[in-house]
Amino acid sequence: MSEMPPFDEMWGHDETLRAPYTGFNAWFCDEDFARLRAKQREADNLFRLTGITFNVYGRSEAEERLIPFDIIPRIISGSEWAKLSRGIEQRVRAINAFLYDIYHGQEIVKAGRLPEEMISQNEAFLPQMIGVEPPGGVYTHIVGIDLVRTGPGDFYVLEDNARTPSGVSYMLENRETMLQMFPELFSRNRVLPVQNYPVNLRRSLAACAPHCAEATPVVAVLTPGIFNSAYYEHAFLADQMGVELVEGHDLKVENGRVAMRTTRGYTPIDVLYRRVDDDFLDPLNFNPESQLGVPGIMDVYRAGGITIANAPGTGISDDKAIYAYMPEIVEFYTGERPLLKNVPTWRCSEADDLAYVLDNLSDLVVKEVHGSGGYGMLIGPAASKAELKRFRAKLEARPGNYIAQPTLSLSTVPIFARSGLSPRHVDLRPFVLVSPDGITVTPGGLTRVALKKGSLVVNSSQGGGTKDTWVLED
């Protein structure tokens, strides 16, 4: 780890107030602490009343928790955002091109830029998608790109979320809460809006409708149900878009279409925004035990009778083993150097990389290739000797299941603590919409913050919270 203190997005490296925070700091210095403490309590109550919760698994039963929200915004300048947006768009374009290629000609393999076994032996590769032409050529309709920052102009992609990225409802609720509690802040700072995301999402999904759709495509959101950890978000987005929220048992295949049950009988769906994993999507084509999906939906999809967003089989593009090849993937499909950097990554499936990781375990972050939510990972510098020993055994037993990365000195952003402003580590998940009409990057995204002092783990399942992310007009 670097000996220099982490870069603070408000105060820089040298305790000099950075330009994006000028307006906010002037307001904060004039504020009464007792009022701000009351506002923080008010925000917590708003989240509780609205029901903004998530489920934590891994115990005997799921535990529902409130997502902690911090009232101090994270602020990014318009020029910083313009640079980030270009890098995000480039990466998302490359991911879509990569997905088309691996399910068609596999030119990247033929060119020797990606080992064949990275596809053929990957659990996330879906043979049922070979040769399928998704409507509009779009695989990843909604993408979440996780970014971390280490300096004024240094952003890294931590991971790509191309299956069913979550968290956008928290971005929207965070902004709504801040607008409600601190309207004066928004009149003093020119903050780009995020509230039009649901309208943009519906428009983007409708633009990906299959040829059989009517002039106004029918869109619906497929949820696994009320016990899913992100159910709040599924219901929220369906409501905000003004579309139906459906479960597998509400749908059936009829006359070559997927139709949903309504009070007027069954209505064909053109675009299904699914929040159900591939394996559970269709018991006839995937897991026969699944009660969450729709029997025969993949057959309708392959025949062009429905758009599934995101497309089945997109998971291979956000696989952590594939992540290590993303610089080559971006360059291969765009003909450009990547604008956003990857975190240096050791592939434990390779003998030399594994040897290095085992020798330096206490300094590295080790992640499961198919892991998510902060589970199944090791943060070497924070691990005990016993944890390191246990993880060493896991690595030696199944090296191909892991990658390793250096422990980056993540940037900090102030949170509202009892003593005033106190720095905490953050990451950022911007949300991207893709349609044949183009790529839209919502200005800002979800900032996740490690509320424990010194902690690098920002996941809500691991004790992290969220905060509003401002992108300023320049």
Predicted pLDDT at 229: 82
pLDDT of residue 457: 75
Sheet of 364-368, strands arranged across: 346-347, 402-406, 364-368, 378-379
Tell me the Cα Rg of the chain: 22
Residues of the chain scoring pLDDT < 70: 1-3, 52-65, 371-375, 460-463
Tokens describing residue 54: 């998530």
pTM here? 0.92
42-67 per-position pLDDT tens digit = 998 888 887 765 554 444 444 556 78
The domains of the chain are located at: 344-407
How many CB atoms sit inside 10 A of residue 373's CB?
A: 16
Retrieve residue 45's tokens. 């109550």
344-407 is a CATH 3.30.1490.270 domain: yes
Instruction: Sort 140 into a burial class: Cβ within 10 Å, 0-12 / 13-18 / 19+.
Output: buried
